[in-house]
Structure 1
Amino acid sequence: MAAAADPGMLGLAMQFLPFIGIFVLFYFLLIRPQQKRQKEHQAMIGAVKRGDTVVMSSGMIGKVTRVENDEVMVEIAQGVNVRVVKAMIADVRNRTAIAANDAKS
């Protein structure tokens, strides 16, 4: 006589199946892409070097003048340097890119 699966356990498993499906959906739609963006941001910050143009999380744009372990010096205006924590750098722009209003005609 083979032991049949307990109907109570089968019912319990069927109740948890939607929760498991929702968790898998959240993982692939939210968690995994966020982790990928975080890794890309860490790599970008690690590659910051002197002369790069950076956009800070506050929206200010400046040129990197000195790089330290956790901080960088950013020139936001001629002769105005500020220390910025590397984590607050939102984007690193190409150093050869010229803004439209800076282009010489």
Structure 2
Amino acid sequence: MQSTAAQTGAGSFLSTIIMFVLIFLIFWLLIIRPQQKRQKERQKMLDSVKKGDKVITIGGVHGTVVGMDEKTLLIQIADNVKVKYERSAVSQIIREGVDSPSS
């Protein structure tokens, strides 16, 4: 009688573990993986910024990149007005003749 109860308990434990693995797999496929893909695309976009590119910052400021270093960009937003921004503050790059994704 105890062996049947032990087998039922072991089977229940195994099914619980399988259920947790399936839930984690679904969670990873629906949430984590797409987020990683978006991060890679954003990093690729930020790495492709070059002088002369027109950009929009996360604050909505439009300007042209006139200088850059590894972590920052110098963006001209008006005549004789240049502002230094972190690269991560760029929301999108606007290139002439190329459709830019609307974010």
What TM-score do the two structures reach when normalised by structure 2? 0.81
Equivalent position amino acid for 2:78 in 1: A
The answer to whether 1:90 aligns with 2:91 is: yes
Q: Please, which runs of 5 or more residues in structure 2 have no aligned partner? A: 1-5, 98-103
Which structure 1 residue ranges, 5 or more long, are not aligned?
A: 98-105
Q: Please list, as runs of the form range in 1=range in 2, the aligned pairs for 1:1-105 lying within 5 A after superposition.
A: 6-94=7-95, 96-97=96-97
Q: TM-score, normalised by structure 1?
A: 0.79
Flag as ranges the 4+ runs of structure 1 deviating above 3 A: none
Q: Could you tell me how far apart the structure 1 residues matched to 2:10 and 2:56 are?
A: 56
The two structures, once aligned, show a CA RMSD in angstroms of 1.8
What do the CA deviations read for 1:19-51 (whole angstroms, capped 9, x no partner)?
222211111111101101101111111111000
Counting matched residue pairs gives: 93
Percent same amino acid among aligned pairs? 34
Please give the alpha-carbon distance, in whole angstroms, between the structure 2 residues aligned to 1:9 and 1:52.
62
